[in-house]
Amino acid sequence: MLFALLACDKAGVTTDNASPTTPTSASLTPAAQQTPPQNPEDLMPRVRASEAIQLVKDGKAVILDVRGTEAYKAAHIKGSIDYPLNKLESGDFAGLPSNKRIISYCT
């Protein structure tokens, strides 16, 4: 089971103390209901930081830093893997576990 979760500074991304900001169909205007997402990433599920931490602690997920090697060298989430975003986008998951959730982040 392989899941790739992308959340790159998008509206609707939640933090531990915030409630999800994804609108429900009841709260959208008819025009907004018919508008497709602007980016494929908009369709990806989001996880809260606390959920990501627990999944990693439980051995059920890995965290990928997709910002680029220079940004990774400057600072990164402890235990995260430096993995190029273009590899994920092209479907190249070589070297990643196939039995864990893949949680990626960028800023």
In degrees and rounded to multiples of 5, residue 64 shows phi and psi of -105, 135
In this prediction, residue 30 carries a pLDDT of: 56
Residues 38-87 pLDDT 10s: 777 778 889 999 999 999 999 999 999 999 999 999 999 999 999 999 99
Nearest by Cα to 48 from 87, 20, 81: 20
CA–CA gap between residue 92 and residue 82 (Å, rounded)? 14
What's the predicted TM-score (pTM) here?
Answer: 0.62
Contact assessment for residue 61 and residue 102, using Cβ atoms and an 8 Å cutoff: yes
> What is the identity of the amino acid at 59?
G
Domains defined for the chain, CATH in brackets: 3-14+40-105 (3.40.250.10)
At 2, list the tokens. 């392989």
